[in-house]
Homo-oligomer: A and B are copies of this chain.
Amino acid sequence: MTDARREVLRLDRIETPVGEMLVVTDGEGAVRALDFADYEPRMMRLLARHAPGATLTPGQAPEAVRQALAAYFAGDVRALEGLRVKTAGTAFQAEVWAALRAIPAGETRSYGQLAAAIGRPSAVRAVGLANGSNPVGVIVPCHRVIGANGTLTGYAGGLERKRWLLAHEAGAV
């Protein structure tokens, strides 16, 4: 009696300088999840929350997505800006993630700045929390948010990768 429109998502694996990544796309070409292969359980957990009941089948991501990611890692760090993503978090999370995509490659923001940008200057830790539960890494650039004193503080894919991504973007502007 429940609406059982089981959505079918494709799971692709691509090689990058920072290790193999998992890309989940839907039938409309939107990216639903993107994470590093060694954090697969985490991605599956997030995906289960954001796309309940969807089935996952191995398959190639749309060419536009593959090419954009390749271009990004090759040095065209703005290549991801046109990609469409689709997530289903709370209203607060949606605001945070939208604010993330507004940070240009090569720049960084502090958690406090991001909190102020969405009109809740004191919701600093909550921003960190929403940041950490972002299902679409790299494209939604949660790695561009650092501590107010310049320290990297944390990253779901490991601080080493956060450092690499920031250096990559800083060197390619």
Contact = CB atoms under 8 A, between A and B. Distances in A.
A91 B3 CA distance: 10
A2 B87 CA distance: 9
8 contacts: A1-B87, A1-B91, A1-B94, A1-B95, A1-B98, A2-B88, A2-B91, A2-B94
A99 to B, nearest CB: 12
State the oligomeric state as a number of copies. 2
A29 to B, nearest CB: 16
A95 B98 CA distance: 40
Contacts of A87: 1
Nearest to A91: B2
A98 B1 CA distance: 9
A171 B91 CA distance: 53
A32 to B, nearest CB: 13
A130 B128 CA distance: 39
A130 B156 CA distance: 41
Contacts of A94: 1-2
Interface in A1-52: 1-2
Interface in A82-101: 87-88, 91, 94-95, 98
